[in-house]
Structure 1
Amino acid sequence: MSSQSKPARYHHGDLRAALLRQARALLEAEGPAALSMREIARRVGVAAPSAYHHFPGLDAIAVALAEEGFAELAQRLDTAPTNDKGQLAGTGLAYVRFALDNPGLYRMMFGEGFTASSQEGQSLKQLRQRAYERVLSGLRKRLPEEEVETAALFLWSLVHGLSLLMVDGRIERPDDSEAMIMSVLRLAGTGLPSSVNPPSANDPH
């Protein structure tokens, strides 16, 4: 348990960054419920008042972690492979990989573990929008402008839902998870096969 781990010895440096590193490690190891200012400070090796000097409370740490997460997600999406046709399977794969690599952080980025009002900061909104713009820019190469927002919402819903299903263990991960993810993403681009579409009203069968 976290109370039994030995605190790090903190030396002069960036205390804020050290607190965030330990908060993120604790988040990934034990989830949002385990976060506490006292435990984070203990892990860094400083007294709790020193932590409060940089973060007034847990919500402030949660927002900083969420900002860090969205910045990293946007960077992954920016460097995901694409082509001049705006195909987004690589972007979607990068998104799901990020969630699988950082399950606790990913949940926190979307509000788990801190109050809704804490998510309304301008910096957090801008970082979230930067990740979203990566999807929009790809779709603009393929679709009329009036269809882009709806398509982007569809794709974000798809990768977010798939990410959470895998993070939470709701679907069994095959040995080749990447192939499964890509199959789902390609299906989003091509549409469901006609054999699984519901019959029309005029279909005698």
Structure 2
Amino acid sequence: MAIEDRRERERAARRSLIVATARKLAESEGWDAVTTRRLSTEIEYSQPVLYKHFAGMEQIADAVALDGFGELADALHAAKSGDGDALGRVAHAYLDFARDHPAVYDAMFLRSTTLNFATDDTPSQLNAAFATLKDAVGGHDADTNTEVFWAALHGLVILTRTGRLRPDQQSARLHLLVDRFDRA
């Protein structure tokens, strides 16, 4: 049994290395730079080793996204706990996460994915991020309110990133959004 345990630990370590390397490459050079050939060179394993862990790039990006959702849930949860304006802190944490991890954010929300949202088989990391956001938003029909708030935050992320909003008004926009939901 010890040999099987060791092999499983090694397999898990290789998988983690693949995901971490994909994330590092995506953050530094963009998702177009993340290919199975490039990953195999970077981690010093053959491409068939990659395919023992992942069927292809989509599954690698999904693994990066899952890690990102876990990190986002942690960031939102940490922001929520504290005194005063929990919704404002959570909104800031969301925008900060998207700004600090653009390639991970892309894997989570912009790349094509096999991850299911709002279904019985939604991964726990997605549910945790949504639940923390929902807890901060609250209100009548909290699920719908949270979806609208999330959509607004996502819109702010993308429109800011692509330079379509006035940079000097970001704080005012976020304050307005939070204020509207605090009164809902």
Q: Is the 8 A contact 2:40 2:46 kept in 1?
A: yes
Residue 120 to residue 190, structure 1, CA distance change in 2 (3 Å): closer
Unaligned runs of 5+ in 1: 1-11, 175-179, 192-205
Question: Over aligned residues, Cα RMSD in angstroms?
Answer: 2.5
Unaligned runs of 5+ in 2: 1-9
State the distance in 2 between where 1:31 and 1:90 align: 29
Match of residue 168 from structure 1: 162
Report the count of equivalent residues.
168
Q: Say if 2:119 is the partner of 1:119.
A: no
Same amino acid, percent of matched pairs: 28
Higher-Rg member (1/2): 1
Q: Is the 8 A contact 1:77 1:91 kept in 2?
A: yes
Task: Give the structure-1-normalised TM-score.
Answer: 0.71
State the distance in 1 between where 2:116 and 2:133 align: 22
3-state SS in 1 of match to 2:163: coil
Task: Give the structure-2-normalised TM-score.
Answer: 0.78
Aligned runs of 1:46-65 on 2, under 5 Å?
46-65=45-64
Deviations 1:1-42 (A, max 9, x none): xxxxxxxxxxx7821111111101121223223221111111
Residue 125 to residue 170, structure 1, CA distance change in 2 (3 Å): farther
Q: Say if 2:73 is the partner of 1:74.
A: yes
Q: Say if 2:147 is the partner of 1:153.
A: yes
Aligned-pair CA distance for 1:123:
6.6
Deviations 1:164-205 (A, max 9, x none): 12233333544xxxxx544322212334xxxxxxxxxxxxxx
Please state which structure has a larger fraction of its residues in helix: 2
Aligned-pair CA distance for 1:87:
3.7
Deviations 1:98-136 (A, max 9, x none): 000111110111141x3x4x1238775432221111122
Match of residue 136 from structure 2: 138
3-state SS in 1 of match to 2:165: coil
Name the aligned partner's letter for residue 60 of structure 1.
Q
